[in-house]
A and B are shown apart, each in its own frame.
Chain A
Amino acid sequence: GNSVTQMEGPVTLSEEAFLTINCTYTATGYPSLFWYVQYPGEGLQLLLKATKADDKGSNKGFEATYRKETTSFHLEKGSVQVSDSAVYFCALSGSARQLTFGSGTQLTVLP
């Protein structure tokens, strides 16, 4: 079946530091890949997505590239802000339309 392995947290960074959160996946067929973000006390919201190999998703300074050869979709941001503190989930959507999530990575950005 499908699975997503996500970098363990928590991750603590200083403001303006570079962020990478690793995500690898196992899936049959041609899944779409997503990063969702969960701010404290809220539901998940889509951060970015990529639907085919070599696609790059981007939003709010975050980027991730769909790498089929390494089955990866790592999240990056060049300069994090305190407001980026949240839990980040990598997910894939396969042929059955079911979303499969990673375990989540808690990010804390200190001023």
Chain B
Amino acid sequence: EAQVTQNPRYLITVTGKKLTVTCSQNMNHEYMSWYRQDPGLGLRQIYYSMNVEVTDKGDVPEGYKVSRKEKRNFPLILESPSPNQTSLYFCASSPNRGVETEAFFGQGTRLTVV
């Protein structure tokens, strides 16, 4: 089954404790991205990747890191999480760079930083 898989689905952590949210897709897509969803703000892009070893900042990159060592994986790293990073996170992938191409989303990771 074609899918984007995120782990974990739920995470509660303490301020300053490094964490990684994994994202994997099995559709051989070149483009992958991370979004955060906050009430009243919709989804905002954190980082994106056009292909292996190619990443760039989205609209809200502060406090996050990413890497793209393999085509299928695009982990999101929070080196020192803070309470304002409490949010619902989504990973997405799409097959090419065309503007008409739809994105496929994972089921989301709900992160709480206390």
Chain A residues engaging chain B, CB cutoff 8 angstroms? 4, 6, 30-32, 34, 36, 41-46, 49, 51, 89, 93-95, 97-99, 101-104
Q: How far is the CA of A30 from the CA of B100 in the complex (A)?
A: 10
Q: What's the nearest-Cβ distance from chain A to residue B34, in Å?
A: 12
* Docked complex Cα distance between A15 and B57 (Å): 43
CB contact between A43 and one of B50, B102, B106 (< 8 Å): that residue: B106
Inter-chain CA distance A97–B94, complex, in Å, is: 10
Cross-chain contact A95 with B99 (CB below 8 angstroms):
yes
Count residues of B near A (Cβ-Cβ below 8 Å). 27
CA distance A32 to B102 in the complex (A): 10
| B105→A99 contact, CB < 8 A | no
Q: A98-B45, A103-B40, A103-B41 are in contact. Are A43 and B105 (CB under 8 A)?
A: yes
- What residues on A are CB-neighbors of B33 within 8 Å? 98-99
With A44-B105, A89-B42 as contacts: A97 and B31 at CB distance below 8 Å: yes
CB distance from A50 to the nearest CB of B (A): 9
Q: Report Cα–Cα, A102/B41, bound state, in Å.
A: 7
A36 to B76, CA, bound (A): 23
Q: B35 to chain A: which residues have CB within 8 Å?
A: 99, 101
Cβ of A89: which chain B residues have Cβ within 8 Å of it? 42-43
Please give the distance in Å from B26's CB to the nearest CB on chain A: 15
> B81 an interface residue at 8 Å Cβ cutoff?
no
Q: List 30 A-B contacts (CB under 8 A).
A: A6-B42, A30-B99, A32-B100, A34-B102, A41-B107, A42-B107, A43-B4, A43-B105, A43-B106, A43-B107, A43-B108, A44-B103, A44-B105, A45-B105, A46-B102, A46-B103, A49-B100, A51-B99, A89-B43, A93-B100, A97-B50, A97-B99, A98-B45, A98-B48, A98-B58, A99-B45, A101-B43, A101-B44, A103-B42, A104-B42
